[in-house]
Structure 1
Amino acid sequence: MFTIRNAKLLDGRIVDVGIEGEKIVCLGECEDNDELIDAENKLVIPPYFNMHFHLDSAFTKAVNKSGTLWEGIRIWQDIRNKISEDEVVRNALTAVKLFVAYGTLWIRSHVDITERSFKLLRAINRVKDESRDIADIQITAFPQDGIFTEKGNDELLRKALENGADNVGLIPHNEITREDGFKSIKYAFELAKEYNKDVDGHIDETDDPNSRYLEVLAKETINNEWYGRVTAGHVTAMHSWDSAYRFRILPYVARAGITVVPNPLINVVLQGRFDGYPKRRGMAPIKEMLYANVNVTLGHDCIMDPWYPLGIGNMLQVLFMAIHLDQMMGINELVSSINLITFNGAKAWRVKNYGIEVGNEANLLVTDADDVIDLIRFMWPPRFVIRKGKVIAKEGKYVLFKGKWERIKG
């Protein structure tokens, strides 16, 4: 048992947090214990979620000259044929350790299952298993090339679900025809119901205002009563939809319980590439979605791969970009924006016992920030990352991996 002294919670209270085993057992004035952490009246918060990422492509460090999504996909098709399973594991583990060091304990990764040997899926299954003591990882079976663009891709998606994938992926805007896009959504729900899986798609990741698969996703969610079990990643076309259409469709998205996951670092890099000036920002409008009661959480998407040349695994960077792109600069907006990488992610993942409350699992970040605004301003890593009652990372530099402390290099 150990105690965190002088912890400032999100509601402003200064409390002690008593931890025994994997649980929070005291909140307020707690007894002394052999192990103490003095938070020094700094912010102590629940850990972060990264609800959209690609572990299989991390650190492949390709050069995308046009900076477009489509060139990135072509480059990736070449890389995935050449990269070894062990290389994928090594790169992905580096990414996981970086995320953990910066306070992220839940990572949902899309894995390209149109690589037909399944070496990518095997690799990320290995990473999921090797990382089980420091992070929760979900794998979405992601048909990068589309479900119906090539014969047999639909069966690859089914096979991936039988080989360790947690969620059904899709990419309707990358199908050859609009009709195949509709068909791909229906097929994803057929598999989801057959295997009792969540649906987690790349949806409308384009500047094309005519790409409107989100409405189909909402209708199929409602028809199949898959409420709260569907995630729509990117939806960058929403930035190009007219306001009247967004006003009409977002209530249905909220009714379906669909979570939308913008990926601001990568969205702003890839979208608007065919524009002159002014350029579209290409990120789904967060404030508008929140106003419509849509659950919104964020993803890091990429680190040093064919789509993005930067990234250190800090979800505060993602949040920082999001609030700038959507001009969420009012005091209340800034303070509540932390929900985009915490409580809203927990809702999408359907994590129970999340948050700093007695009886909940002891997952906490001890930060150096006075409040949420300072947390976002400085983007410092946590002093301590605590998972299930155990310190697993310190100072953004050290991670306890397989029982040994490692200094992280990304």
Structure 2
Amino acid sequence: MYIVKNAKLLDGRKVSIGIENGIITCVGECRGEELVDAGGKLVIPPYFNMHFHLDSVFLPVQNISGTLWEGIRIWKEIKGKLTEDDVIKRATTAVKLMVAYGTLWIRSHADITEKEFKILRALLKVREELKKIADIQITAFPQDGIYTDKGNDELLYKAVELGADNVGLIPHNEITREDGVNSIDLAFNIAKEFNKDVDGHIDETDDPNSRYLEVVAKKTIENNWFNRVTAGHVTAMHSWDKAYRYRILPIVSKAGITVIPNPLVNAVLQGRLDEYPKRRGMAPIRELLDHGVNVALGHDCIMDPWYPLGSGNMLQVLFMAIHLDQLTGFDELRNSINLITYNAARAWRTEYGIEEGKKANLLVTNAEDEIDLIRFMEPPRYVIREGEVIAKDGRYVLINGRWEEVKRKP
């Protein structure tokens, strides 16, 4: 048995963690060959990135206005010109960077309105090639909308046939309210036929009249798709009046929908037409949690048409969420780590945690506790996946048995 010794857990216990054949077999006083010495520092399960775009990551473009609309225009102009090799190169760099920062589960959207499926095929290859260091899910995402262009509905269906893990949608991008509702129906029909989860961009707008989340909740309940739906962004919720949120959020909770805010990107994209004061443009995390809605976070973008920054560090995402939603009460701050760990695992529907019988997925950090972890946002000293050290110090990852230095961009 291998052990991670001198580990401090989130509940304050100081333990050793025993590992055999990639499984945690002991938490407490364990004896065995030392794998790593945690030195009394915090050891936690790894992070999730529940909403990302690997297809556009690291694109060398300039969004002069910094707006969502210019980003959409840029992407529309260049996506058909991308090659599989280019997408694979950029996406691979991003995954390695995220793994080095402690993220072992990544859910990425693939724009399937690129009609030749070069993007989708590239990301499916990345999913396969990097499966030893990360679990990657690909969502078939109709970026331009399902009913905005003839045949996009067929593309969505075919993308799932080709191997996409989840069915995507973007109802607020459809031309009419009716088309938006129909797009939700189609997504659920495809999800049920192929037994897939639904993973949508929902109400990503400042328009308070954008209320597709209520339709998604109703369809989730009608189709008995409980706990199998995620709603990304939902920035319009920030503009909904409180009485409406009070009515609809218990229904979202009943449906088991997970809401995925993307605080880094939406903090700069939303409220662009506002004078001062500007809306923060992020789904209200505290209010969602108070209504029993599961909430997890996404990084969304790194250096692409919509966002010129980003490091792949989910602690940076969490740090921004804490500030935007003012989650600085002592218990709120301590529990906020769940937004990139346990809450996300619930949405992913995977076994998770530092318990006997669970897979030995661990981060050995430099932090004394979760508050220090968030304060300094340092990469983990060691990333352990199924009992094997696969990344060190935010600088190195183990690929096919060889250590390589992580690139910050291609």
Tell me whether the two structures share a fold, i.e. TM-score over 0.5.
yes
Query: What SS is found at the alignment partner of 1:108?
Result: strand
Please state how far the C-alpha of 1:334 moved relative to its aligned partner.
Answer: 0.5
The one-letter amino acid of 1:60's match is L
- The aligned residue for residue 259 of structure 1 is 258
- The aligned residue for residue 25 of structure 1 is 25
- For residue 373 of structure 2, the aligned residue among 375, 395, 405 is 375
Please state how far the C-alpha of 1:151 moved relative to its aligned partner.
Answer: 0.5
1:243 paired with 2:229, answer no
- Preserved CA contact (<8 Å) 1:229 1:257: yes
- For residue 399 of structure 1, the aligned residue among 392, 397, 400 is 397
The one-letter amino acid of 1:222's match is I
- The aligned residue for residue 215 of structure 1 is 214
2-side partners of 1:183 and 1:65: how far apart?
A: 35
2-side partners of 1:32 and 1:184: how far apart?
A: 55
Count of paired positions: 408
Query: What SS is found at the alignment partner of 1:238?
Result: helix
The one-letter amino acid of 1:297's match is A
- The aligned residue for residue 49 of structure 1 is 48
- The aligned residue for residue 206 of structure 1 is 205
Query: What SS is found at the alignment partner of 2:136?
Result: strand
Please state how far the C-alpha of 1:40 moved relative to its aligned partner.
Answer: 1.1
The one-letter amino acid of 1:385's match is V
- Preserved CA contact (<8 Å) 1:207 1:271: yes
Query: What SS is found at the alignment partner of 2:383?
Result: strand
- The aligned residue for residue 320 of structure 2 is 321
1:332-385 Cα distance to aligned partner (Å, 9 max, x none): 001000000000000000002x10001110000000000000000000000000
- Preserved CA contact (<8 Å) 1:61 1:309: no
Please state how far the C-alpha of 1:63 moved relative to its aligned partner.
Answer: 1.3
1-side partners of 2:82 and 2:35: how far apart?
A: 45
Query: What SS is found at the alignment partner of 2:55?
Result: helix
The one-letter amino acid of 2:49's match is N
Please state how far the C-alpha of 1:71 moved relative to its aligned partner.
Answer: 1.4
- Preserved CA contact (<8 Å) 1:125 1:164: yes
- Preserved CA contact (<8 Å) 1:67 1:273: no
2-side partners of 1:221 and 1:136: how far apart?
A: 25
Query: What SS is found at the alignment partner of 1:355?
Result: coil
- The aligned residue for residue 278 of structure 2 is 279
Query: What SS is found at the alignment partner of 1:162?
Result: helix
- Preserved CA contact (<8 Å) 1:265 1:300: yes
The one-letter amino acid of 1:170's match is L
Please state how far the C-alpha of 1:81 moved relative to its aligned partner.
Answer: 1.6
1:239-292 Cα distance to aligned partner (Å, 9 max, x none): 011111111100000000000000000010100111111111100000000000
The one-letter amino acid of 1:401's match is I
1:59 paired with 2:85, answer no
2-side partners of 1:82 and 1:187: how far apart?
A: 29
2-side partners of 1:233 and 1:342: how far apart?
A: 17
Query: What SS is found at the alignment partner of 2:18?
Result: strand
Over the aligned positions, Cα root-mean-square deviation in angstroms equals: 0.7
Query: What SS is found at the alignment partner of 2:162?
Result: coil
1:204-248 Cα distance to aligned partner (Å, 9 max, x none): 000000000000000000111100000000000000111111111
> Structure 2: any 5+ residue segments left out of the alignment?
none
Query: What SS is found at the alignment partner of 1:57?
Result: coil
1:56-81 Cα distance to aligned partner (Å, 9 max, x none): 00000321122221211110011212
- The aligned residue for residue 364 of structure 2 is 366
Query: What SS is found at the alignment partner of 1:5?
Result: strand
- The aligned residue for residue 77 of structure 2 is 78
2-side partners of 1:310 and 1:164: how far apart?
A: 30
> Structure 1: any 5+ residue segments left out of the alignment?
none
- The aligned residue for residue 9 of structure 1 is 9
- For residue 386 of structure 1, the aligned residue among 384, 387, 409 is 384
2-side partners of 1:402 and 1:70: how far apart?
A: 41
Further displaced range: 35-44 or 254-263: 35-44
Trace 1:162-241 onto structure 2 (pairs within 5 A). Answer: 162-241=161-240
Q: Could you state the TM-score of these two structures normalised by the residue count of structure 1? A: 0.99
1-side partners of 2:61 and 2:169: how far apart?
A: 24
2-side partners of 1:32 and 1:186: how far apart?
A: 54
- The aligned residue for residue 126 of structure 1 is 125
- The aligned residue for residue 337 of structure 2 is 338
The one-letter amino acid of 1:19's match is I
1:124-151 Cα distance to aligned partner (Å, 9 max, x none): 0010011000000000000000000010
2-side partners of 1:64 and 1:183: how far apart?
A: 32
2-side partners of 1:136 and 1:61: how far apart?
A: 27
The one-letter amino acid of 1:23's match is I
Q: Among all aligned residue pairs of Structure 1 and Structure 2, give the percentage whose two residues are the same amino acid.
A: 73
1-side partners of 2:397 and 2:109: how far apart?
A: 24
Please state how far the C-alpha of 1:29 moved relative to its aligned partner.
Answer: 0.7
Q: Could you state the TM-score of these two structures normalised by the residue count of structure 2? A: 0.99
The one-letter amino acid of 1:106's match is W
The one-letter amino acid of 1:371's match is D
The one-letter amino acid of 2:160's match is L
Please state how far the C-alpha of 1:32 moved relative to its aligned partner.
Answer: 3.1
- The aligned residue for residue 289 of structure 2 is 290
